[in-house]
Structures are given as C-alpha cells and as structure tokens.
Amino acid sequence: MAEDQERRPAGELEASVLAALWASDAPLTPGEVQRSLADDLARTTVTTILTRLYAKGTVTRDRAGRGYAYRPAQDSHGLTARRMHAELDKDEDRGTVLARFVSELSSEDELMLRALLDGGTGGLDATGDSGGVGR
C-alpha cells in the first residue's frame, strides 16, 4: 500500500482530498476524509496532505475534539466563476479549445444513457429501446 501511494504524485492526492472536502457539506476530520476517498490511503498520509493544503491556504480548519476538522477555503471565486461561465457560453457555438468533460445531451441521448447505465450496473431496469418513449 505504501508503494501505491509512492506511485501517485502528491499533487494528485491533494486534488482527491480537496475534492472530498468540497463534496461534503460539513467540515471533515482526517479520519472522515480517509474514509471518503476512493484510494486506501494511510491516515498519516491524509493528515500530511491536509496540513500541506492548510499551509497553502487552500483549506481552513477548526478544532474538533483532539484534532482538526477541515473545510475548503471559500474566497471571492463565486463571482469570477459566474463571469467565466458567461464568457464560455458566449463562445460555445463557435467551438472552444477547452475540452469539456461531458457535452450536452439530447433527450434521446438521455434515455439511451439511462438505459446503458441501468444495464451496466445490473439495475435490471430493462427499457426496450425499440423507439418506445417509455418514460
């Protein structure tokens, strides 16, 4: 397991930890972060990453019992984000050089995707895709 952590660059682990903090509604202790990650990281590794993120000012922390609970540092980005969206949307129909994770779905795409995912996870929600609208 220690080898596993060795193989992943520190920056990638920081991204995972930071994402876990942002995805949570409440501040998380190192133990909670450790449990909410996809990888099996040692508790000490998680603590090290959190300390590093705190030193950079990316996260803030409060006393929680014997240790700390961490949450992402909220700054003035909310407004910038809105402005950025407006900027990107404006250029959308002309094509952008920023590749987005997922493009938009048509309603047929959405039905097809739901059927695919249900089939893939064994949800057995067998939707006959023979042109029937169904839902």
Partner 1 sequence: MIYAVWVPLLMPLLAVPAARRAAAWLPPRAAAWTLAGFSIGLATSSTAALVLLASAGALRLPLVAAFAHLSPPLLGDDSPALLPASILAVLALAAGAVTLVRTGLRQRREMRAAHAGSPDAADELSVRPDELPYAYALPGRPGRIVVTTGMLRALDAREREVLFAHERAHLRGRHHLFLSAAELAVTLHPMLRGLREPLAYALERWADESAATATGDRALTARAIGRAALAAAGTPGAVARPRTALAATAGPVPRRVTALLSTGATTGRPRRALRRAPVVALLVCAALTAGTLAEAAYDLHTDVEVAQGEAQIPR
Query: In this chain, which of 4, 22, 64, 67 binds partner 1, going by CB under 8 A?
Result: 22
Q: How buried is residue 16: exposed, middle or buried, by Cβ count under 10 Å (0-12/13-18/19+)?
A: middle
Residue 40: CB partners within 8 Å, gap ≥ 6?
A: 1, 4
39 part of the interface to partner 1, by CB under 8 A: yes
Task: For residue 51, state whether it binds partner 1 (rule: CB under 8 A).
Answer: no
DSSP string, 42-65: -HHHHHHHHHHHHHHTSEEEEEET
> What is the distance between the terminal CA atoms of the chain, rounded to a whole angstrom?
46
> Which H or E run includes 4?
helix 2-7
Does the footprint of partner 1 cover residue 87 (CB under 8 A)? yes
130 binds partner 1 (CB under 8 A): no
Name which of 14 and 127 has its Cβ closer to partner 1: 14
Does 37 sit near partner 1 (CB under 8 A)? yes
Q: Which residues are paired to 60 by β-bridges?
A: 71
Q: Which of 44, 108, 125, 134 binds partner 1 (CB under 8 A)?
A: 108
Residues that bind partner 1 (CB under 8 A): 11-12, 14-16, 18-20, 22-23, 36-39, 53, 56-58, 72, 74, 77-78, 80-85, 87-89, 91-106, 108-110, 112-114, 116-117, 120-121
